[in-house]
Amino acid sequence: MIHTGRHFLQIPGPTNVPDRVLQAMSRPVMDHRGPEFAEMAREVLEGLRPIFQTSGPVMVFPASGTGAWEAAIVNTLSPGDRVLLFETGHFSQLWRQVAEKFGVQVDYVPGNWRRGAAAADAVARLRADTNHAYKAVLVVHNETSTGVASRIAEIRRAMNQAHHPALLLVDVISSLASMEYRHDEWEVDVTIGGSQKGLMVPPGLSFNAVSEKALAANRTAKLPRSYWDWQQMLEPNRSGFFPYTPATTLLYGLREALRMLKEEGLPNVFRRHDRHAEATRAAVRAWDLELLCEEPREYSSSLTAVLMPQGHDADRLRNIILENFDMSLGSGLSKLAGKVFRIGHLGSFNDLMLAGTLSGIEMGLRLAGVPHHVGGVTAALDSLAAAAPAGSPAPAIRSSAGAP
Ligand SMILES: Cc1ncc(COP(=O)(O)O)c(C=O)c1O
């Protein structure tokens, strides 16, 4: 089938890259040891701090998110160290594998992939650990495979209640610059982020925001590291340089994206994501389909995972939507393969893009013969109308009969 118009990229990352960011990257590569580069890098390194809500350093690696997971582990832990990692879904599983490959002993706290990390489990396990064997607690903030967000502030409270000195390591790869997240206030020690989702930059950059406590742990951590070594990165970063050739072009893009986020204002960015997520859930409910996330306090604002009715394959639906409407939706990962589809509503996104996305799904449900009620799109539009975008005046909705 020949497609016209723009492809709809509605997977939960990589996300649509705004024209401003694309244009910022479309320029000659500069000397990464020259003054112009240092000026740009300093703006980027400073500009990242408010995104993580930290006053501490944020390091940028030329790598996808997996690299930043590895960086967090090798910089803070030693071979044989024990850590607590919460099973939230596919990505907690992958992070566990990275840790285990480095000889870290992972106590994997079981979860059902429909709820976030349970603070009560954390309290119980940390209280029982009177010898402080656990060196770190690892949590994926927004589990991209399930659309469930763990409540990090509660995990931190649980750690404090247990008076446990373990480090807190949090993956915000699919919540950064989309959902409320406070590195300093929640006393997170290492926050792991990526460029390709809420930050609206192509894949290829990832981040470690680090606390003083993490830096102290780094001085005694014995896992082997070279490319990921924080000390090697922090020193040149102070003057705007990198210990190796940085991803210059992606950094141009990141600088522009940070400027855009600053112009919009982070609280407005979060409200925008909340509002689109709420409208998406209104559509899912109106279709009479089931949300994978069971706990309303843990709904993700950057993506929604939708369960298929028994006997209907999510990948078949996704393929029909791709072929007919040129829209990509996220697949079910690992044990959710074929059972869920995921709608990404994060990054550079607006009301009409959401309306188009949901229309494509509603038309796809019909074409695929998936049992559902019509009216999901209308329910989403009603939800959007009821919650005006941040900064706009209250909507003046008139019925067509009363229109002048
Ligand atoms: C929550 C989360 N963690 C980690 C990763 C891995 O990141 P990457 O694929 O960029 O290596 C992803 C990727 O989507 C993710 O969503």
In tens digits, the chain (404 residues) has pLDDT values of 899 999 999 999 999 999 999 999 999 999 999 999 999 999 999 999 999 999 999 999 999 999 999 999 999 999 999 999 999 999 999 999 999 999 999 999 999 999 999 988 888 999 999 999 999 999 999 999 999 999 999 999 999 999 999 999 999 999 999 999 999 999 999 999 999 999 999 999 999 999 999 999 999 999 999 999 999 999 999 999 999 999 999 999 999 999 999 999 999 999 999 999 999 999 999 999 999 999 999 999 999 999 999 999 999 999 999 999 999 999 999 999 999 999 999 999 999 999 999 999 999 999 999 999 999 999 999 999 999 886 665 544 444 433 33
> 349: Cβ below 6 Å to ligand 1?
no
Q: How many CB atoms lie within 10 A of CB 313?
A: 16
pLDDT of residue 399: 40
pLDDT of residue 122: 87
> 64: Cβ below 6 Å to ligand 1?
yes
How far apart, in whole angstroms, are the C-alpha atoms of residue 207 and residue 59?
5
How far apart, in whole angstroms, are the C-alpha atoms of residue 195 and residue 60?
10
Radius of gyration (C-alpha) of the chain in whole angstroms: 22
DSSP state of 331: P
> 144: Cβ below 6 Å to ligand 1?
yes
> 174: Cβ below 6 Å to ligand 1?
yes
pLDDT of residue 397: 47
pLDDT of residue 123: 87
Kindly give the distance from the C-alpha atom of residue 341 to the centroid of ligand 1, in angstroms, as a whole number. 17
> 193: Cβ below 6 Å to ligand 1?
no
Q: In angstroms, how far is CA 153 from the centroid of its own chain?
A: 17
How far apart, in whole angstroms, are the C-alpha atoms of residue 241 and residue 246?
9
Q: How many CB atoms lie within 10 A of CB 24?
A: 20
Ligand 1: atom nearest CA of 67 is 11
Task: Using alpha carbons, list the distances in angstroms from residue 400 to 376, 378, 379, 403.
Answer: 21, 16, 18, 5
Containing H/E element for 107?
A: strand 105-109
pLDDT of residue 393: 56
> 65: Cβ below 6 Å to ligand 1?
yes
Ligand 1: atom nearest CA of 142 is 1
Kindly give the distance from the C-alpha atom of residue 171 to the centroid of ligand 1, in angstroms, as a whole number. 9
- The pair of structure tokens assigned to 330 is 């996220």
From 9, 15, 66, give the residue whose CB has the most ligand 1 atoms within 8 Å, as the site to mutate: 66
> 11: Cβ below 6 Å to ligand 1?
no
Q: How many CB atoms lie within 10 A of CB 356?
A: 18
Look up the pTM and report it.
0.96
> 63: Cβ below 6 Å to ligand 1?
no
- The pair of structure tokens assigned to 282 is 């209104």
> 331: Cβ below 6 Å to ligand 1?
no
Ligand 1: atom nearest CA of 66 is 11
Q: Whose CA is nearest to atom 8 of ligand 1?
A: 65
